[in-house]
Structure 1
Amino acid sequence: MGKVNVSKLKTFTGHNDCVYTLERTQHDHLFFSGAGDGMVVFWNLKESENGQLIAKLPNSVYALHYLNKANLLVVGHNYDGIHLLDWENKKEAGSLKMTDQAIFDIKSFGDHLYVGDASGTVTVVDLRSLNIIYKIKSSSKSARAIAINEQSGEMAVGYSDNKIRIFNLEDYQLVKELEGHKNSVFTVKYSPDGQLLVTAGRDAHLKIWDTKAGYIELEDIVAHMYTINNLDFSPDGKHFVTCSMDKSIKIWDTHAFKLLKVIDKARHAGHGTSVNKLLWSSYNDLLVSASDDRAISVWDIEFNS
């Protein structure tokens, strides 16, 4: 196994509260963040100075989703609904007061938006009309994380009832219910080739499911000391990263499911509190992490064979 070298390149500051989410754009070096201070900020990996404020909302922002074709940013505004932002001109392009719940995740496929909230509902929104066209209600516990498998036309949703449910994107019918986690599922992610689904959450276990074999569980790894908040794949799909309430980030081999590196405060001047979100950018393969410590860190990850 090759050695992994990690170095922290920069830290972005400016948020006044926990940073909960990161979202990529069509440009590899540009990304957004959302935080408990209600601020949505735009950042540039090519620059060292602080970001640009795009919007300031009254409540926390847990979820952001970038619409590539429209070049709009969808903001999940807790206890209010969604806002579509023309971020370049810093103005609202549309909004929908669809829920009085916390919004935990937003994804899109085609002309539809999928919004998961604390009531356990995944609301399907038509992006052209901004009308609600369907509500998927399979649990009374929070719908915490959403992943889209474009290859199979399926959507995986992780819930606080400890289950992951797979839905068909044509008719939103339940395809499969995955059990195995012992607590809330906080993150679900398909591998870039769509062949694996990786899930994790409050039980600190990492589970890997084979999508082609009907979601058979391939691995169950005790991956962190505390809650796993998020995970993301490298641009080439060969590796993935997890982050946790235990303040660490871990790098894994996708094919061997093996731990390759731990990034933490003691060894790498990592985050001092819970790490909430990860974004592995195609820009120089840089890894971006967001934390309760209000900071956004940028990491250079180098794999030596």
Structure 2
Amino acid sequence: MLTVDVSLSNTFIGHQNPIFAVSHGLDASTIFTGGNDKGVVEWDMREGKFKRILCAVPASVYVLHLLEEEGVLIIGLRNGEVWFVDIARQELIHKTQTEKGAVFDLRVLPDKREIIATGEEGVAYVWSLDNYALLYKFPIADTTVRVIEPYPNTNQIAFGDKNGVVHLYDTADFRAITNQQVHSLPVTALAVTDTSLLTGGRDAKLVRLAQHDLSIIEAITPHMFTVYAILPHPSLPIIATVSRDKSIKIWNALSLALLKNISIERGYDAHRLSINTATWVGDQLVTAGDDKLVKIWDVSVQDS
């Protein structure tokens, strides 16, 4: 039986507005955060303090994605721009833009050297990472597509839209494979495990889907409100979820049994408003949200 211990390692204070995006840095000691402050902040996890403002941006930051080998941070903005910033030089090396609406999510397809982004108008944009040229543009839905999740080691990618539908595409030619009505409200989180695709929604549901045809395997209600992130641990058999209900929960990755509930009500110095984003950095879970705080949690697992 798995048991989980969680303790708060640090709280970073400095953002003046809600935080929407977090990314790990170039090493295990740094992270980046962004939100309504119109700037991307770098934090030193080892020293437990603010490091620098990486760059100022003209609109709210909705998504951050690290290109580790290139030393570049990709930033998706509310105004539809996608920025490529050299971390060491603190220099904007390129920017591109969607035709309409905010960039809610973006992902990298490393085998193809491509970046794919989606936004409010339900269209996907694919750019080359070599010369930033727009390679493809195709409609996914007639509404906002908020989240993207590529399947590792296969040529498939999932999208989640505002109507609660999950769409599966082939990344070789970006043809539609299938779609499934999964949630009654918008899809707000996607995550791939070894065996399935997990989806979270504004309907507070967490659903496990078969990867190949999106058939529903099981569904639970993990939170009281929107599930904003689903985070399989990089090596341990656990999954973290965060929510608008201000709680963090740790689950058994195989059974989806609840292992730990981290919230103020459970005695933790946890978030006081919606948790909008999170990421694993090794065995530490980084969470951030509407209370303008970044919290670093030490997580350990024992198999008894």
Give TM-score scaled by structure 1 length: 0.94
1:145 corresponds to: 147
Provide the C-alpha distance between the structure 2 equivalents of 1:138 and 1:100, rounded to a whole number of angstroms: 14
Provide the C-alpha distance between the structure 2 equivalents of 1:136 and 1:277, rounded to a whole number of angstroms: 27
Cα shift readout 1:135-189 (whole Å, capped 9, x = no counterpart): 1202121110111112221111111021010110000001120222111001111
Matched ranges for 1:92-107 at <5 A = 92-107=92-107
- Structure 2 counterpart of 1:225, which letter? M
Cα shift readout 1:80-131 (whole Å, capped 9, x = no counterpart): 4111000221111111133341111110113110111011111111122212
1:60 corresponds to: 60
Q: CA deviation at 1:66?
A: 1.0
Identify if the C-alpha distance between structure 1 residues 223 and 197 changes in structure 2 by more than 3 Å, giving closer, same or farther. same
- Structure 2 counterpart of 1:17, which letter? N
Q: CA deviation at 1:69?
A: 2.5
2:272 corresponds to: 272
Identify if the C-alpha distance between structure 1 residues 41 and 93 changes in structure 2 by more than 3 Å, giving closer, same or farther. same
1:219 corresponds to: 218
Provide the C-alpha distance between the structure 2 equivalents of 1:80 and 1:88, rounded to a whole number of angstroms: 25
Contact 1:280 1:286 in 2 (8 A): yes
Residue 108 (1) aligns with residue 127 (2): no
Contact 1:14 1:51 in 2 (8 A): no
Contact 1:161 1:183 in 2 (8 A): yes
Q: CA deviation at 1:291?
A: 1.1
The gaps in structure 1 that reach 5 residues or longer are none
Contact 1:163 1:177 in 2 (8 A): yes
Q: CA deviation at 1:34?
A: 1.1
- Structure 2 counterpart of 1:156, which letter? A
Contact 1:18 1:35 in 2 (8 A): yes
Contact 2:166 2:182 in 1 (8 A): no
Provide the C-alpha distance between the structure 2 equivalents of 1:204 and 1:119, rounded to a whole number of angstroms: 24
Identify if the C-alpha distance between structure 1 residues 295 and 302 changes in structure 2 by more than 3 Å, giving closer, same or farther. same
RMSD: 1.4
2:191 corresponds to: 189
1:295 corresponds to: 293
Q: Secondary structure at the match of 1:268?
A: coil
2:228 corresponds to: 229
Provide the C-alpha distance between the structure 1 equivalents of 2:29 and 2:66, rounded to a whole number of angstroms: 14
1:20 corresponds to: 20
The gaps in structure 2 that reach 5 residues or longer are none
1:11 corresponds to: 11
Q: Secondary structure at the match of 1:70?
A: coil
Q: Secondary structure at the match of 2:299?
A: strand
Q: Secondary structure at the match of 1:215?
A: coil
Provide the C-alpha distance between the structure 2 equivalents of 1:231 and 1:24, rounded to a whole number of angstroms: 16
Provide the C-alpha distance between the structure 2 equivalents of 1:178 and 1:24, rounded to a whole number of angstroms: 32
Residue 155 (1) aligns with residue 154 (2): no
Q: CA deviation at 1:26?
A: 4.5
Provide the C-alpha distance between the structure 1 equivalents of 2:191 and 2:51, rounded to a whole number of angstroms: 27
- Structure 2 counterpart of 1:280, which letter? W
Identify if the C-alpha distance between structure 1 residues 244 and 114 changes in structure 2 by more than 3 Å, giving closer, same or farther. same
Contact 2:179 2:214 in 1 (8 A): no
2:262 corresponds to: 263
1:131 corresponds to: 133
Provide the C-alpha distance between the structure 1 equivalents of 2:139 and 2:206, rounded to a whole number of angstroms: 25
Cα shift readout 1:42-61 (whole Å, capped 9, x = no counterpart): 12221211131101112100
Q: Secondary structure at the match of 2:50?
A: coil
Q: CA deviation at 1:37?
A: 1.0
| Same amino acid, percent of matched pairs | 27
Provide the C-alpha distance between the structure 2 equivalents of 1:176 and 1:297, rounded to a whole number of angstroms: 38
Provide the C-alpha distance between the structure 2 equivalents of 1:29 and 1:189, rounded to a whole number of angstroms: 24
Provide the C-alpha distance between the structure 2 equivalents of 1:31 and 1:176, rounded to a whole number of angstroms: 36
Provide the C-alpha distance between the structure 1 equivalents of 2:62 and 2:208, rounded to a whole number of angstroms: 25
Q: CA deviation at 1:237?
A: 4.6
1:210 corresponds to: 210
Structure 1 stretch displaced more, 230-239 or 26-35? 26-35
Contact 1:139 1:161 in 2 (8 A): no
Provide the C-alpha distance between the structure 2 equivalents of 1:36 and 1:47, rounded to a whole number of angstroms: 25
